[in-house]
Structure 1
Amino acid sequence: MEISSVIFNQLLQMFFVMMFGFVLVKFKFLNMDGTQQLANIVTKFIIPIVILMSFQQDYDPSQLYILFTSFMGALSIILSRIALAHTLLRNRSKIDRYAIVFSNTAYMGIPIVLPILGYEGIFYLSMYIVTSAIFQYTYGKWMLSEGNEAITLRSILTNPASLGSFIGFGLYILRIPIPGVLYNSLDTIGGLSSPLGMILLGGYLARSRVKDIFLVRSNYWTVAIRLIIAPIIGVFLLWLLPIAHPSVLLVLSIANATPTAVNTALFSQLYGGDYEYGARIIILASFLAIVTIPLMISLASAVLL
C-alpha cells in the first residue's frame, strides 16, 4: 500500500494544480486561445523532451530487452482497448470509443512515475507513451475524422512523441550524453509537463457545466470501462506476458490505470467531434481516477509484483 499512498498524494497535488487552472480560466486570466497554445507547447515540445531525457542514462545492452518487454506490454494493453471499445461501445459515439482506448499517460503517468522510479521509470514508460502516440496520430485521427484522415507512415514516424523517442534512443545507443548545462535546462522544461497538463484540465472544467459532467448517467458507463474494466483486463494481460522486471510491471500498471487522454477533447475539436463532450469525459475520469488509480495499482501489486 506504500506505493498506492505515494500515488494518491501525487494525484491530490495534481488536483490542486488543476484547480489553479480552473481559477485562471474562470476569472479570465486564461482564454481559449491561451489554452490551445499551452496544449500545443506541451504536446509538441515538452513531452518529447521528457521522453528524450529518459534515455540519458548509462548504456546497458540488457536494458534493450527490458525496453522491448515494455513495448509488448504497452501494445497488448492498447490493442485490448481497441477491441473493448468496439465491443462494449459499438453503439456509442466515436468520442466514447476514443476515450476508452487512449489514456492520459503523459500528463498523469510521468508525474507519478518520476518521483517513484526517476528517469529509469520514464525510460520504460516512454514505450507506452510512444506506442499510444503512434496509435493516436493514426488510428485515433482516422476514427475521429470518420476515415477522412488517412493512416500514413509519416504520421507514425514524425509525431512529436516518436521524434523525442528516436532522438533519445539514438543518443542512448551512440552513448552521447547531453552536456550538463543543457541537461539541467531540458530537465527544468520537462518538469513543466504535469503542471501545464493539469492547468489544461482545470480550464476544461471551468468551461463546463457541473451538472453535465456529474449528473449525466451515460457518462459513467464510459468512465467505468475506462477506469475499472479496461485496467482489470490490462492487469490480466500483463500477468500473461513474460515480463519479469518489477519496474516495468509497475510502470505499465500505472500507465494502465491512468484516465482518459486530454487529446480526447483536443483531437475532437480538430477533427469534427463534440469536443465539449470529450472534455466532460476527461474531467469526470480525472476526478474519479484519484480513487481508482490507487485501487488498480494495489490490484496490480497483488497480482504482478
Structure 2
Amino acid sequence: MDISLVIFDQLLQMFFIMMFGFILVKIKFLNMGGSQQLANIVTKFVIPIVLMLSFQQEYDSGQLQLLLTSLIGALAITLSRIFIAHTVLRNRSKIDRYAIVFSNTAFMGIPIILPILGYEGIFYLSMYIVVSAIFQFTYGIWMLSEGNQPITIKSILTNPASIGAFVGFGLYITRIPLPDVLYNSLDTIGGLSSPLGMILLGGYLARSQFKEIFFVKSNYWIVFIRLLIAPAVALLLIWLLPINDPSVLLVLAIANCTPTAVNTALFSQLYGGDYEYGARIIILASFFSIVTMPLVISLSTLLLL
C-alpha cells in the first residue's frame, strides 16, 4: 500500500474524530471537568495497557536482539530532540519544547506500519512508544510542571508507562501469554487511546480561535522544526548507528517523522501550561504532516535502505 495514501487516510480519520469532540464542546456536552477526567483516564490507564499489550508476541531470541536495536534507535531520536529543545528553543515556551520532543507515534505510526510490515513492525515500534512514553511521564512532566514534579528513580520506575512496559516485557521474557478473553478485553480498552485523544483535541480546538492556529507566524517556526529539522537530525544519527535490519530502519524512519504528540495538550492540561496553545500546535503539525511525512520517509529510505 502506498505510504502517502495510508498517511492521508489516517489524517482524515483524525479529522472526523476531532470534529466529534469539537461538536461535543460546542453543544456544551463536554466541559472542562469532563475533559480533565478523560485526560487522566488516557494517560494513567489506557496508555500503560497499550504498552503492555505491545509485548504480547511469540518469544524469539533473534527478534529480541532486533528489539534492543530499535531501543537504541528510539533513544537516539528522543535524545536528539531534547538537545534541540534546549539549544535552538531554549528561549521558547515549555509547550514549544515539549512539542518538539514528543510525537504522535502510536496513532500515526501503527496504522502506517501495520499494512507494510505487519505485527513484526509493530513489535519494533513498541520500543519507540515505550521510550517516548517513559520520557513523557518523567522528563516531559518535569518540564511542563517547571520542576514541581521532579525526575526521580521512583518516577522513572513507577510511572504508568514504565509499569505497563515492565509488565509487558516480563510476560514476553517469561513467555507467558495472556488468556484470549483477557487479551481481547484489554485490547478493546487500549483501542480507546487514539479516539479519546482525538476527541479531547477536538474539544481544545473548539475552545480556540481559527486565526490563532493558522495566522500566527511563530506557530509555523515550531512546526517547521518539528516536522523537518528534528527528523533530519535524527535521521543522521540513525544513519551513523550500526543498525542493518531494513524492518527496524523503516520503523524508526516512520516513527521519526510523525507529527506532534496529542499529549502536548493533554499533559499541559494536567500539569500546568497553555494547553490550548499546545492543541493549536498539534493541529497545525498534523495538517502539514500530510506533505512532510511522505517526503521524510522517502528521503529516509534512500539514505538508510
Aligning the two structures, in what range does the TM-score lie when normalised by the shorter sequence? Answer: over 0.9
TM-score (norm 1): 0.92
> Take 2:128 and 2:282, find their aligned partners in 1: how far apart are those partners?
19
Deviation sequence 1:164-198 (CA, Å, 0-9, x none): 11111111111111112222222222222222222
> What displacement does 1:140 show?
1.9
Q: Which amino acid aligns with 1:150?
A: P
Q: Where does 1:230-249 land on structure 2 (aligned, <5 Å)?
A: 230-249=230-249
Matched, 1:60 2:63: no
CA distance 1:65–1:151, change in 2 (3 Å) = same
1:175–1:205 CA distance, 2 compared to 1 (3 A): same
Amino acid at match of 2:189: I
1:273 aligns with 2:270: no
**Alignment partner, residue 149 of structure 1:** 149
Distance in structure 2 (CA, Å) of the matches to 1:244 and 1:153: 33
d(CA) in 2 for partners of 1:296 and 1:42? 30
Unaligned residue ranges in structure 2 (runs of 5+) = none
**What's 1:182 paired with?**
182
- The alpha-carbon distance between structure 1 residues 161 and 123, as it changes in their structure 2 partners (threshold 3 A), is farther
1:227 deviation in Å?
0.8
1:209 Cα offset (Å): 0.4
Partner of 1:15: 15
Tell me if structure 1 keeps the 8 A contact 2:201–2:265. Answer: no
Amino acid at match of 1:166: F
Tell me if structure 1 keeps the 8 A contact 2:7–2:108.
Answer: no
In structure 1, what residue type is equivalent to 2:52? L
* Deviation sequence 1:111-137 (CA, Å, 0-9, x none): 433444443333212211221222222
Distance (whole Å) between structure 2 residues aligned to residue 241 and residue 210 of structure 1 = 42
2:255, 2:68 → 1: CA distance?
Answer: 16
Q: Distance in 2 between matches of 1:141 and 1:192?
A: 22
Change (3 A) 1:32 1:112: farther
**How is 1:115-134 mapped onto 2 (pairs within 5 angstroms)?**
115-134=115-134
- 1:211 aligned partner, one-letter code: K
Q: Does 1:297 align with 2:285?
A: no
How far is the alpha carbon of 1:280 from its aligned partner?
1.6
- What stretches of structure 1 move > 6 A for 4+ residues in a row? none
* Residue 221 (structure 1) shift: 0.4
- Bigger drift between 15-24 and 171-180 goes to 15-24
Q: RMSD of the alignment, in Å?
A: 1.9
Q: In structure 1, what is the equivalent of residue 43 of structure 2?
A: 43
Q: Give the superposition deviation at 1:26.
A: 1.9
Give 2:205's aligned residue. 205
Query: 1:223 maps to which residue?
Result: 223
Say if 1:296 and 1:170 are closer, same or farther in 2 by CA, change over 3 A: same
Partner of residue 256, structure 1: 256
Residue 80 (structure 1) shift: 0.7
Q: Could you report, residue by residue, the CA deviation over 1:143-176 in whole angstroms, capped at 9, with x for unpaired residues?
A: 2232232111111111222111111111111111
Q: Secondary structure at the match of 2:176?
A: coil
Aligned pair count reads: 305
Q: Is the 8 A contact 2:10 2:108 kept in 1?
A: no
* Residues 25 and 267 of structure 1, relative CA distance in 2, 3 Å threshold: same
User: What stretches of structure 1 of length at least 5 have no aligned partner?
Assistant: none
Q: Percent same amino acid at aligned positions? A: 78
Q: Is the CA contact (8 Å cut-off) linking 2:260 and 2:282 kept in structure 1?
A: yes
Q: Secondary structure at the match of 2:57?
A: coil
CA distance in 2, matches of 1:197, 1:109: 15
Provide the C-alpha distance between the structure 1 equivalents of 2:136 and 2:194, rounded to a whole number of angstroms: 20
Contact persistence 1:128–1:255 (CA under 8 A): yes
Local SS of the residue matching 1:166: helix
Output one character per residue of 1:10-56: Cα deviation in whole Å (capped at 9) or x when no partner.
Answer: 22222222222222222223222222222222222222222222211
CA contact (8 A) 2:130 2:165 kept: yes
